Amino acid sequence: MAKTSKFEAIVKAKCPRCRRGNIFSGSLYGLNLQTTNENCSHCGMRFEVEPGYFYGAMYVSYAFVVGEMLNVGLLTYLITGNDKSPWLYITAILLSILVLTPVNYRYSKVFLLHLLTPKIKYNPEYDTDDKIRNI
């Protein structure tokens, strides 16, 4: 019975407690918009561990966006070299932010759940193929 690694659970946006259930329904870039599930379908953990918990994801998302803007700006500079037009940078940065919005939405919550909330702990006993509910 293989256990799920933390890395795999983060990449696949799985529940931080059992690493089996999906945090989101809907696909990242699908036509059905992704929504955050209330509870884990595998272990029953409530993802919004306290009222307003996911407001914290805004700060994570902010950090993501700043990093992406810096990287896209630098990349634009490296690719275009001498072009000094600010509109080139503004267009490239805004387009990348727009394209990456679903990624930021998903992974800001995943990072918050997996890495920034110490009270949520992985429990290997829940990481099984047997369906467990209401623990």
User: Which stretches of the chain bind Zn ion, using CB under 5 A?
Assistant: 15, 17-18, 21, 40, 42-43, 45
Tokens of 7: 């890395």
Q: DSSP letter string over 47-110?
A: SS-STTGGGHHHHHHHHHHHHHHHHHHHHHHHHHTT---HHHHHHHHHHHHHHHHHHHHHHHHH
Tokens of 72: 């896209």
- Position 73: which residue type? G
Nearer to Zn ion, 26 or 44 (CB): 44
Closest approach of Zn ion to the CB of residue 106, in Å: 17
Nearer to Zn ion, 33 or 46 (CB): 46
Nearer to Zn ion, 15 or 93 (CB): 15
Closest approach of Zn ion to the CB of residue 41, in Å: 8
Closest approach of Zn ion to the CB of residue 15, in Å: 3
